[in-house]
């Protein structure tokens, strides 16, 4: 095999200009491919973190209540105009057992029961509608990094403590340590102490959410010992739809994934992924055509040399391997240069555009690009290599 390598490298050195141009073309293509893939991955991670940073991957709730209509008497026809039944605030039956079952599912990383319901936040003459959220702090912090969102005070939910959003605090003129009256209707009121103020980055949430301990909200909503939902976080977020269906079958409850509630986001992510795949295909095609054209020209230019080598005893298989080696060398060296250039582009982006989002480069991405480029080089060299191997030695030597 060393003879084929020697001849292949000699041919590459003799055509330095052509070799340099094709290597630059491959390097540019691979650099664009790796950098663009890393850029879109970073953008998607940023979008997902911003979107899912304020919500669970799966939300488990009681099934919807339905109207119960008695069947008509035998021999009669019943015409029914049915309105959908209004849904009241209800607890999940045996939610502790459901929580324990979900804790045992290996694809879930965190499970947190909660209770939520509407109320009014009052201070002086001001009154604003809010959503009360009763949580288990130890479990909930594994679903949403609420502690990291605290901008004033501390993440503390002892008796009569509350956490409120920054927009709500601004509207009601509240600071840490102030008192706030919560009115859940029907005479159920409570005065709480503002232990912390958070900013989740979503105006609606920062305006409406009031976090308390579960017992406080259970008392305000007149649902003692209840949990109206169980929030779930997964290891693999894009498997949420399948896991939600599994949870619904397992528990008989309503399980809604983030994919259902963020259909536009999912469409955008799929569009980005499709765009990346199309760009990758075009880059691979351009690299393959470049390598094939250079090697085809090389076969024409070196027809006499090929004929002489064949006359000296070189076999068809050896000539075939010579040009396949050239294609593989083009792909491998060009991809290594391109990967190095893409790392430089990523460093520049993370240095000068760090305020937008961070672009990570997976260690396997340059390796995958190198493997694909090498394979592309081999495949694109196949036709010129077969042509060189099939040359008749006598005709090749006489070639002018």
Query: What pLDDT is attached to residue 8?
Result: 65
Please write down the long-range contacts of 349-355, taking CB distance under 8 Å and 24 or more positions apart: 349/39
Query: What pLDDT is attached to residue 15?
Result: 65
Q: What's the CA gap between 216 and 5, in Å, rounded?
A: 78
Dihedral sign for Cα 300, 302, 304, 309, please: negative
Per the document, the length of the chain is 400
Query: What pLDDT is attached to residue 400?
Result: 45
- Contact call for residues 171 and 126 (beta carbons, < 8 A): yes
First to last CA, the chain: 30
For 135, residues 6+ apart whose C-beta sits below 8 A from its C-beta are: 112, 114, 157, 211, 212, 213, 214
Query: What pLDDT is attached to residue 167?
Result: 93
Nearest to 290 by CA among 5, 16, 27, 40: 27
User: Which tokens in the block code for residue 313?
Assistant: 């005893």
| Residue corresponding to tokens 């079952």 | 101
Query: What pLDDT is attached to residue 70?
Result: 65
Dihedral sign for Cα 130, 134, 137, 142, please: negative
Q: What's the CA gap between 145 and 316, in Å, rounded?
A: 66
Check: pTM over 0.75? Answer yes or no. no
381 φ, ψ to 5°?
A: -85, -5
| pLDDT tens per residue across all 400 residues of the chain | 666 667 666 656 666 777 777 778 778 877 887 887 788 877 777 777 777 777 889 999 988 766 566 677 787 776 666 666 565 678 888 899 999 999 999 999 999 999 999 999 998 888 999 999 999 999 999 998 888 899 999 998 888 899 999 999 999 999 999 999 999 888 889 999 999 999 988 888 899 999 999 999 999 998 898 999 999 998 888 888 899 999 999 888 999 998 888 777 777 777 777 877 777 777 777 766 666 666 666 665 556 565 666 566 666 676 667 767 777 777 778 888 888 888 888 888 887 776 677 777 777 777 777 777 777 766 766 666 666 556 565 555 555 4
């Amino acid at each position: 095999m060393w003879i084929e390598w020697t001849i292949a490298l000699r041919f590459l050195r003799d055509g330095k200009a052509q070799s340099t141009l094709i290597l630059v073309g491959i390097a540019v293509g691979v650099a664009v491919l790796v950098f663009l893939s890393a850029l879109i991955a970073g953008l998607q991670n940023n979008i997902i973190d911003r979107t899912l940073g304020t919500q669970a991957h799966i939300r488990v709730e009681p099934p919807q209540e339905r109207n119960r209509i008695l069947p008509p008497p035998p021999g009669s026809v019943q015409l029914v105009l049915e309105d959908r039944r209004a849904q009241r605030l209800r607890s999940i039956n045996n939610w502790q057992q459901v929580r324990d079952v979900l804790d045992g599912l290996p694809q879930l990383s965190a499970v947190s029961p909660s209770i939520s319901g509407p109320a009014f936040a009052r201070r002086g003459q001001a009154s604003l509608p809010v959503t009360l959220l009763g949580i288990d702090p130890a479990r909930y912090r594994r679903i949403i990094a609420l502690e990291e969102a605290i901008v004033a005070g501390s993440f503390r939910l002892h008796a009569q403590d509350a956490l409120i959003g920054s927009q709500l605090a601004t509207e009601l003129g509240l600071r840490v340590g102030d008192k706030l009256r919560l009115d859940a209707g029907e005479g159920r009121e409570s005065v709480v102490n503002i232990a912390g103020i958070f900013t989740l980055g979503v105006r609606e949430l920062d305006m409406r959410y009031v976090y308390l301990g579960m017992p406080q909200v259970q008392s305000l909503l007149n649902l003692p010992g209840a949990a109206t939902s169980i929030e779930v976080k997964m290891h693999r977020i894009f498997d949420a739809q399948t896991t939600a269906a599994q949870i619904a079958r397992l528990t008989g409850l309503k399980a809604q994934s983030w994919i259902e509630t963020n259909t536009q986001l999912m469409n955008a992510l799929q569009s980005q992924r499709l765009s990346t795949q199309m760009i990758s295909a075009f880059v691979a095609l351009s690299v393959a055509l470049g390598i094939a054209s250079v090697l085809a020209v090389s076969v024409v230019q070196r027809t006499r040399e090929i004929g002489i080598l064949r006359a000296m005893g070189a076999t068809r298989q050896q000539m075939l391997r010579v040009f396949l080696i050239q294609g593989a060398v083009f792909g491998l060296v060009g991809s290594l240069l391109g990967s190095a250039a893409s790392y430089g582009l990523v460093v520049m982006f993370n240095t000068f555009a760090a305020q937008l989002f961070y672009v990570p480069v997976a260690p396997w991405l340059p390796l995958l690009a190198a493997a694909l480029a090498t394979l592309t080089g081999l495949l694109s060299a196949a036709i010129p290599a077969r042509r060189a191997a099939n040359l008749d030695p006598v005709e090749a030597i006489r070639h002018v």
